[in-house]
Amino acid sequence: MFLKQKIISGQVILGILLLLLSASSEGKVVINVKSLEPTNTSAIIIKTTVAVKDTLLLPAKKDTSDKGQAGNDSLTITEITASAGKYDRANRLHYAMIDSMAKVIMEFPLRDSAGLRYAPDWVGTSNMGLRRPNYVIIHHTATNNCNNVIQEFTTPGVREASAHYLICNDGTVYHMLNDLLRSHHAGDSKWGNTTDLNSSSIGIELDNNGYQPFSEEQMASLTILLGRLKNTYKIPDANFIGHGDIAPARKMDPNYRFPWKELSEKGFGLWWDDTTDVRVPDNFDYLMGLRIIGYDISAPDSAVAAFKRHFMKDNSGGNMNGMVRKIIYMLYRRYQ
């Protein structure tokens, strides 16, 4: 059986396409292949998606012939000729990984040995969607340039770290992984009762060696990106946090120069107000306050140090004083 021209639509297929294409892609994908034997629907989708991605979603050529009925907004395989560019090897590994995940999605109903009494006939629901991120975690790269990070993030079998986005010092943005896929950026971390931040967050790496300020160009790109993520996924203001917040005992990024206050004024993160007339109750437990805000207090000094770095631009460590206690109290009241 051969396909002439078939439009892939419907919630299930669109869901898989969204998983594979970038979050900004839209419209229909038209397959126009003269001799393609569709032995596996998922394979067709993947091959089409890979080809489309290799063109960086370039507009399709207009078909002025009598046979061209797909419309100007359609992409056809026969029109796709662009190569993957200088990152060809990394991109091919990327697509191979997507291929393997798509096969997992298509393997339903699952075969297991749990002893469940399954119905004899499988029935699937079309009432579904893709899981969405609920946090944004901001990092610094601790390297001197973007190329070092790209090499690390595209080399399999080493540390296998990654992020959804990388923003260079000049403001250039690399969207390295679909927002709806799980990147390896948070590691061993915790925020509130959430212990698998990789599965519920977007990771953004900022090109910064850990000691320098963040450039205006970089912050401009970050602000635009945060706005899109917040609007697209309805991420709460309080859920824009740093790697050092969710892993205080082992991470310090983004460094204390990061402009959290300025971002909070744009709706990305919370901040504290004037402390002049604030009186902290004598029985206030600052560690419980940090716990309510979200910090893991299993290492108290590290939690205090992370809080000070984020909310006070203070890199002096975990020592406490009256001002730190007051600011913890003010934020604790906001996070309640």
Query: What are 295-311's pLDDT values in tens digits?
Result: 999 999 999 999 999 99
Per-residue pLDDT at 113? 62
- Across the range 133-155, mean pLDDT stands at 95
pLDDT in tens, 221-236: 999 999 999 999 999 9
From residue 5, alpha-carbon distances to 134, 140, 269 in Å are 38, 47, 48
Q: Chain centroid to CA 85: how far?
A: 24
Q: Residue length, the chain?
A: 336
Q: Is residue 11's pLDDT more than 50?
A: no
| Residue ranges of domains in the chain | 6-106, 131-269, 272-336
CB 83 within 8 A of CB 54: yes
As a whole number of angstroms, the distance between CA 52 and CA 313 comes to: 45
Q: Chain centroid to CA 125: how far?
A: 27
H/E segment holding residue 126: none
Q: Is residue 169's pLDDT more than 80?
A: yes
Q: In sequence order, what DSSP letters do the residues of 183-210 get, joined into one string?
A: -S-S-S--BTTB--GGGTEEEEEE---S
Q: Which residues make Cβ contacts (< 8 Å) with residue 39, sequence separation at least 6?
A: none
- Cis upstream peptide for 254 (omega within 30°): yes
CB 198 within 8 A of CB 182: yes
Report the CATH architecture of 131-269. 3-Layer(aba) Sandwich (3.40)
Per-residue pLDDT at 108? 67
Indicate the burial class of 66 (C-beta count within 10 angstroms; 0-12, 13-18, 19 or more): exposed
pLDDT in tens, 256-273: 999 999 999 999 999 999
Per-residue pLDDT at 125? 86
pLDDT-based confidence at residue 118 (cuts at 50, 70, 90): confident
Dihedral sign, Cα of residue 37, residue 40, residue 45, residue 50: negative
SS3 30: strand
Per-residue pLDDT at 33? 29
Instruction: Provide the 10 A C-beta neighbour count for residue 165.
Output: 24
The per-residue pLDDT of the chain, averaged, comes to 79
Q: Is residue 26's pLDDT more than 50?
A: no
Residues with active-site annotation: 205
Lowest-pLDDT range of 90-94, 208-212, 233-237 = 90-94
DSSP E strands, 121-214: 135-140, 165-167, 173-175, 201-206
Indicate the burial class of 231 (C-beta count within 10 angstroms; 0-12, 13-18, 19 or more): exposed
Provide the token pair at 50. Answer: 């890979």
